[in-house]
Amino acid sequence: MNLPTKLTVSRIILSIFIIVLLIFPFQAIGIRFPIIRSGIDLDLKYVIAGILFIVASITDFLDGYLARKNNQVTDLGKMLDAIADKILVNPILIIFASEGLISPIVPVIVVARDIVVNAIKMEAASKGKVVAAISSGKIKTASLMMGMVLIFFANIPFVYFNVHLDLFFIYFATIMSLVSMVQYFYLNKKIIFSESEN
């Protein structure tokens, strides 16, 4: 297992830890995370999870960069990277929605978009074609990551100016999810509806 793949596996482990940290009923076993009061209540549990999320997001950039730079791109690495990306983002969006931090429509659209795009990629792969990443998808991912980081940290410092930058990024990313889904379909519809060459 090369270094990029190890980084991807570490992202999966970090993602699982973040999810457990956010949903585990610590109060039921007598553990309470303190609330940091700085003009706005900031849950220490979310601060810790946010820091881990940032670290995991950095590994998302590093594993791909190192794999390409050192010519260490493997099928295993690509598969694990796709899994790691979904585990890092989608469950946390669902948790945010369950906590009332974002609208439930956000994880619904983001998860549905992932299902559609993955289906397109799988269909293309079955016909020997590779579906390349597109700019709208990259914009969606970057916006989503920035919005999620801000939510973890209660939108500080923008909350003090009554600027909901966290929700702006989240809902912009949701719109870009739809845009990128339509673009993926449009760009690959000939492959989708073509007969297999095998």
What confidence tens digit (pLDDT) does each residue in 60-93 have? 889 888 888 888 888 788 888 889 999 999 999 9
Q: At what angle do helices 135-152 and 75-98 cross, to 10 degrees?
A: 50
Question: E strands, the chain, where?
Answer: 35-37, 41-43
Phi then psi for residue 194, to 5 deg, are -85, 160
pLDDT band at 192 (very low <50, low <70, confident <90, very high): confident
SS3 163: coil
Which fold is adopted by the domain 1-101? Four Helix Bundle (Hemerythrin (Met), subunit A) (1.20.120)
Instruction: Evaluate if residue 98 carries a pLDDT over 90.
Output: yes
Q: Give the model's pLDDT for residue 70.
A: 85
How many C-beta neighbours within 10 Å does residue 93 have?
25
pLDDT band at 151 (very low <50, low <70, confident <90, very high): very high
Residue 47 or residue 67, greater confidence? 47
Q: How much of the chain exceeds pLDDT 70, in percent?
A: 97
Chain centroid to Cα 179, Å, comes to 17
Rounded Cα distance between 67 and 134, Å, is 19
- What single letter denotes the amino acid at residue 189? K
Instruction: Evaluate if residue 4 carries a pLDDT over 80.
Output: yes
Round the average pLDDT of the chain to a whole number and report it. Answer: 91
Instruction: Evaluate if residue 190 carries a pLDDT over 90.
Output: no
Q: Where in the chain is the domain with CATH 1.20.120.1760?
A: 1-101
Identify whether the C-beta of residue 56 lies closer than 8 Å to the C-beta of residue 11. yes
Rounded Cα distance between 185 and 189, Å, is 5
Rounded Cα distance between 1 and 67, Å, is 12
SS3 36: strand
Q: Give the model's pLDDT for residue 104.
A: 97
